[in-house]
A and B are shown apart, each in its own frame.
Chain A
Amino acid sequence: MKTVAVIFGGRSAEHDVSIVTAISSIIKPLELSKQYHVEAVYVAKNGAWFWDNKLKDIKLFSSGAIEQFIARTQPASVQFDSGLTLSRGRGLTGRTQRKKIDIVFPSMHGTYGEDGALMGLLDMSGVPYVGCSLETAAIAMDKVLSKQVAAANNIPVSKFLSFTSREFAHKQSAVLERITNTLKYPLFIKPAHLGSSIGISRATTETELRNGLEVAARYDDKIIVEEAVQNLIEVTLPIIGNDELTPAYLEEPLVSAEDFFDFDTKYIRGGGKKTGGGKKGAQGYSTIPAHIPKDLYQKAEALGLSVYRALGCSGIARIDMLIDSKTKEVYFNEANPMPGSLYAHNWRQKGISTMELTLRLIQLAEARHRARQAFTTVFNTNFLKQF
Chain B
Amino acid sequence: MIRELLSFYSWRMPTVLAYMLQNTEYHPGTYLAWFWRTTRFDKVLYRRELVPTKAARLLQLALRVGMLLQIAAGVGLVVWWRHDAASGGLAFGLALLLAYPIVWAHLVVVPLFLGRWLIVQPRQRQAIETSGKIFAAFKGEKIAVTGSYGKTSMKELLYTVLSEGKKVAATPGNKNVSISHATFARQLDGDEDILIIEYGEGEPGDVARFAGITKPTRAVITGVAPVHLDRYKTLERAAVDIFSVSNAAKPEHIYVNGESPDALPYVQPGQQLYSQKNALGWKVSGVKVGLDGTQFVMQKGQEKMALHSGLLGRHQVGPVAFAAALASELGLTHKQIQAGISKTVPYEHRMQPYQVVPGAWVIDDTYNGNIEGIRAGTRLLQELSAKRKIYVTPGLVDQGPESAAIHKEMGQLIAVAEPDVVVLMQHTVTADIQRGLEAAEYAGKVIIETDPVSFYTNLNLFVATGDLVLMQNDWPDNYH
Asked whether A349 lies within 8 Å of B358 as measured between CB atoms, the reply is yes
Asked whether A349 lies within 8 Å of B359 as measured between CB atoms, the reply is yes
Cβ distance B17 to chain A, nearest Cβ, rounded Å:
27
Which listed residue, B358, B455, B461, touches A353 by the CB 8 Å rule? B461
Which listed residue, B357, B454, B461, touches A355 by the CB 8 Å rule? B461
For chain A, the count of residues having a C-beta within 8 Å of the partner chain is 16
Cβ distance A37 to chain B, nearest Cβ, rounded Å:
14
Inter-chain CA distance A355–B388, complex, in Å, is 15
Chain B proximity mask over A344-357: 1 for CB below 8 Å, otherwise 0: 01011111111110
Asked whether B387 lies within 8 Å of A351 as measured between CB atoms, the reply is yes
Asked whether B387 lies within 8 Å of A354 as measured between CB atoms, the reply is no
Which parts of A45-93 form the interface with B (CB within 8 Å)? none
Q: A31-B454, A349-B358, A349-B359 are in contact. Are A354 and B465 (CB under 8 A)?
A: no
Task: Verify if B458 is at the interface (C-beta below 8 Å from A).
Answer: yes
Asked whether A32 lies within 8 Å of B465 as measured between CB atoms, the reply is no
Chain B residues, CB < 8 A from A348:
357-358, 360, 463-465
Q: A351-B466, A353-B464 are in contact. Are A28 and B359 (CB under 8 A)?
A: no
Inter-chain CA distance A351–B462, complex, in Å, is 11
Chain A proximity mask over B443-466: 1 for CB below 8 Å, otherwise 0: 000010000001100101111111
Which parts of B259-292 form the interface with A (CB within 8 Å)? none
Chain B proximity mask over A329-367: 1 for CB below 8 Å, otherwise 0: 000000000000000010111111111100000000000
Task: Verify if A156 is at the interface (C-beta below 8 Å from B).
Answer: no
Which parts of B365-390 form the interface with A (CB within 8 Å)? 387-388
Asked whether B462 lies within 8 Å of A353 as measured between CB atoms, the reply is yes
Asked whether A32 lies within 8 Å of B461 as measured between CB atoms, the reply is yes
Task: Verify if B467 is at the interface (C-beta below 8 Å from A).
Answer: yes
Inter-chain CA distance A66–B257, complex, in Å, is 60
Chain B residues, CB < 8 A from A353:
461-464, 467
Inter-chain CA distance A359–B460, complex, in Å, is 16
Which parts of A12-52 form the interface with B (CB within 8 Å)? 28-29, 31-32, 34
Asked whether A350 lies within 8 Å of B458 as measured between CB atoms, the reply is no
Chain A residues, CB < 8 A from B447:
34
Asked whether A355 lies within 8 Å of B387 as measured between CB atoms, the reply is no
Chain A residues, CB < 8 A from B466:
351
Asked whether B455 lies within 8 Å of A350 as measured between CB atoms, the reply is no
Closest A residue, CB atoms, query B449:
A34
Most buried by B among A29, A31, A348: A348
Which parts of A198-228 form the interface with B (CB within 8 Å)? none
Chain B residues, CB < 8 A from A28:
458, 461
Which listed residue, A31, A32, A34, A351, touches B464 by the CB 8 Å rule? A351
Which parts of B326-371 form the interface with A (CB within 8 Å)? 357-360
Asked whether B358 lies within 8 Å of A354 as measured between CB atoms, the reply is no
Closest B residue, CB atoms, query A347:
B464
Chain A residues, CB < 8 A from B387:
351
Inter-chain CA distance A28–B464, complex, in Å, is 16
Which listed residue, B454, B458, B460, B464, touches A352 by the CB 8 Å rule? B464
Asked whether A351 lies within 8 Å of B454 as measured between CB atoms, the reply is no
Chain A residues, CB < 8 A from B461:
28-29, 32, 353-355
Asked whether A349 lies within 8 Å of B464 as measured between CB atoms, the reply is yes
Chain A residues, CB < 8 A from B467:
353
Inter-chain CA distance A32–B461, complex, in Å, is 8
Cβ distance A92 to chain B, nearest Cβ, rounded Å:
18
Asked whether B360 lies within 8 Å of A32 as measured between CB atoms, the reply is no
Asked whether B458 lies within 8 Å of A351 as measured between CB atoms, the reply is no
Cβ distance A28 to chain B, nearest Cβ, rounded Å:
6
Asked whether A355 lies within 8 Å of B462 as measured between CB atoms, the reply is yes
Inter-chain CA distance A347–B360, complex, in Å, is 13
- A sample of 11 cross-chain residue pairs with beta-carbon separation below 8 angstroms, ordered by A number, consists of A28-B461, A32-B455, A32-B458, A34-B447, A345-B357, A350-B464, A350-B465, A353-B464, A353-B467, A355-B461, A356-B464
Binding site for B on A (CB under 8 A): 28-29, 31-32, 34, 345, 347-356
Binding site for A on B (CB under 8 A): 357-360, 387-388, 447, 454-455, 458, 460-467
Closest 10 CB pairs of A and B: A353-B464, A29-B461, A354-B461, A348-B464, A349-B465, A351-B464, A32-B458, A351-B466, A355-B461, A348-B357
